[in-house]
Amino acid sequence: MASTDKSPGPTPAKGNEPPPGKPMSMGQHMIDKGAMMLQSLKPVKQFSQHLCSFAIYSHDMSRQIETHHYCTRLNQDFLQCAVYDSDDSNARLLGVEYIISDRIFEDLPDEEKKLWHSHAYEVKSGLLISPRVPEMVAMPELENLAKSYGKFWCTWQADRGDRLPLGAPALMMSPQAVSPGLARPDLVHHRDAKYHVDSDSYKTSRLEIPEPEMISPFADYWKQHAKGFAIDIVDTDMKLTAPFP
């Protein structure tokens, strides 16, 4: 049926333009403004960081994307992030990434570890930045992140030209020091130009950041196994308590 690595069937919703649909009506704007005033939007007000980096599709590592993570820290060992394709108000919600400390990661079963990726390289190579935050201010969080692992499901493959979120979710991996995990220079330059930074220069300031003593062979699964992951959505019997639909 639907699969991460299968191109969706023909649809007019293809291309690089924003999603199809009429522009927002005045009525809808007013409802939204009203809601923003009346509702306590507590969970989404907890975003405390914006991180910009790159991610790679685990089933096709030639495809890389620039990512914008908006993160909430639930506790010392856990971050939950909404991931977008830009920092604009019209950014597409591409997916969700969870970030955990190495301490928590070590206790996961091996089968689960396979779905996670390490962050040490991404941080120390300067690929991951905290836009507009001075390095010194960002440093404590970068030190946390360098020792962490992430699990990132992408549910909107916009880079493939999907103007709407089609198909099955994709498991994403992080850039690493070896091919095919090396970040594409053109993507990095484009990002660097936008934020007036030079990722390369961060390598020096981040040299001393500690990494996990040993990165589990199950994380960054492709490195040791040359395999990626795809999700298939298949028919199953639904356990029913009433007729469906």
Partner 1 sequence: MTRQVEAHHYCGHQNEEMRQCLIYDSPEANARLIGLEYIVSENLFMTLPDEEKRLWHSHEYEVKSGLLVMPGIPGPIERQDLELVCKSYGKVYHFWQVDKGDSLPLGLPQLMMAFTRDGQVNNELVQGCGKRLGVDYEKERKNREYMRGPEHGIHPLANGGGKGLKTVLREVDLPNDQPPPSATRVFV
Q: Least separation, in Å, of the C-beta of 195 and partner 1?
A: 20
Q: How many beta carbons lie within 10 A of that of residue 233, not counting itself?
A: 12
Instruction: Verify binding: residue 179, partner 1, rule CB under 8 A.
Output: yes
Residue showing tokens 């690089």: 16
Binding of partner 1 by 238 (CB under 8 A): yes
d(CA 145, CA 122): 9
CA 226 to chain centre: 21
Total residues at interface with partner 1 (CB under 8 A): 97
Q: One-letter amino acid identity for 28?
A: Q
Mask 5-24, x = binds partner 1 (CB under 8 A)? x--xxxxxx----xxxxxxx
What gap in Å lies between CA 95 and CA 15, rounded to an integer?
19
Rounded CA-CA distance 171/153 in Å is 5
Among 55, 119, 141, 169, binds partner 1 (CB under 8 A): 169
Q: Is 99 exposed, middle or buried (0-12, 13-18, 19+ CB in 10 A)?
A: buried
Which three-class secondary structure state does DSSP give residue 52? Answer: strand
- Which of positions 38-57 make contact with partner 1 (CB under 8 A)? 38-46
Which x/- pattern, by CB under 8 A, does the window 183-202 give for partner 1? --------------------
Q: How far apart are the C-alpha atoms of 60 and 53, rounded to whole Å?
A: 18
The region of 137-145, 179-187, 188-196, 210-218 touching partner 1 under the rule CB under 8 A is 179-187
Nearest distance from residue 69's CB to partner 1, in Å? 12
* 166 near partner 1, rule: CB under 8 A: yes
Q: Considering only the stretches 136-144, 163-171, 186-194, 208-216, report the one whose residues sit in contact with partner 1 under the rule CB under 8 A.
A: 163-171
Piece in contact with partner 1 (CB under 8 A), picked from 95-103, 131-139, 189-197, 210-218: 95-103
